[in-house]
Structure 1
Amino acid sequence: MILAIAILCVGGQRSNADIEARRHNAAYFSPTMERMMRATDKELLGYAGSLQPEMRGAAVSEIVDRKLKSAAPVLAKQLDPAAKDRNIKGTLQALTISALGRLRNPAAIPALRKTLKDEILGTRIASAYALANLNDKASAAGIRALFPKMKEPMLIPLVRKLGEFKDKPSEPTIRNVLLHAHYNALRAVAAESLGQIRAPQSLNALLVGLKDDYPDVRCASANALAKLGDPRAVPALKIALAETSPQSANAPQKERESKAAIEEALKVLAAG
């Protein structure tokens, strides 16, 4: 269920053309979806409070498709601890939280900060994605606290967002991801985020990333080292430039990008 929640929270919005095409063909969808597509905005808000998962899911999907930011305060009220919805564990609440994140209305932030501390793990994870979508830097600590409980592919957007926040307290957590994650795409994003944070203590981890088996991690590490601007990285960069990553045959384009990034990092550090 947690993975499904993650997909809901980070999934992109449909294009306007797709939305109109769906409405035009509403009769071919389930009766519930057809009802949502034909509902007024006011009716949708009522359906979004339903305790029936199918009803709420369809309403939330349509609200997000219509980009009804005005729905955010109404949806946020459903997350209040006193609301009857609290008696329904997990999925219904996660659907509401997902919508709040995708609507990107800052009015939802206070309610989402509360659900980030919820007793249900899926609710906390959904809240982390939503707050990341809302660029809530103040929630960085709560977001990274969830990392040990999440599967590696699910961490990618959150690690990237913490880098965009330039959140220095997150540096040790992201550095640990670079050093210990099994998933190379996650290691690459971690290196990229360390470059955005630009903390001096990231140097050694990025030097390890520069020797990674995968060229995408080497590329991201080289870019990050250039941003870090520490000349102590020069010897390792020269060695990396002369080497070929073990996975280069599986990703020749990324290998070329890696070499270009290393060369650029050497130029930057030489100029500095």
Structure 2
Amino acid sequence: MTVSPLQGITHACFGLSYLCAFLLEFARLLWPAAGWRVAGLAFGVAGVFAQSAYLLVNQPTPAAPYGSLLWLAWVLALFYLYGTVHHAKQAWAVFVLPVVIGLVGLSLVLVTAAPGHTDFGVPGWAAGERFWGGVHGLLILLASVGVCVSFLASVMYLIQARRLRQKIAPGTVVPMLSLERLETMNRRALNGAFPMLTVGLLVGTMLLEHGHAFGENVLSLKVLSTTGLWLVFLLLLYLRYGAHVPPRRLALFSIGAFVLLIVALAAAHPFSVVGGGQ
């Protein structure tokens, strides 16, 4: 039986590619030259290709913590490539790639600590329940992307705001988007993520109740952290549209929401069924 070369792709392949891309982008900031950007993009594209192949061959489920982190890292890697090309004059990659690398590294730690195949569902689930389990996972994944974008915009916003307060000349520091664009990015990310997170939680609650496991899993770390994330989102929306607090405070809350998201994604899923390894 012929073994596909794609089956030899591991976390190290795309993780190291992203790391090289980040180092090259960082070097470009210290010693500006066109070659750094080209080389960095080449490693970035190689990382996305390798990770795409890994996901295609292994098909990790979002029900597994390592799988949800890998899928999120892949979407953000695409976001990094788009932003690096679209915002060529800004230090986009320097902010996005560390998040991608961190997610890949955390997924590697989790899959090493708890190897095995994990899938949505409980014993006896029919195709309909598995379908809604997939819908739940997709909605949570898309909401997670929104949280990550909000986090990145918030970090850049705080850095840019500090520069303006200190009246640092733009030509002497890393180029970044304006405060207005960063605030808009944060707002759109939150507005888009909240309804997906809400529907995802409702679908997840329905599945727990259908599987007669709601009482057993309602106090699990996964459920509590995800519910806490939803409450933080609700607070953020109130502070923005009801209390009209300054964007700087909203940025701090958005960073807190990202930390809670990582906890939620890394926690074991109540729907997961661990079977044989693969």
Q: TM-score, normalising length from structure 1?
A: 0.26
Q: Which structure would you say has the larger Rg?
A: 1
Greater relative CO (CA pairs within 8 A, separation 6+): 2
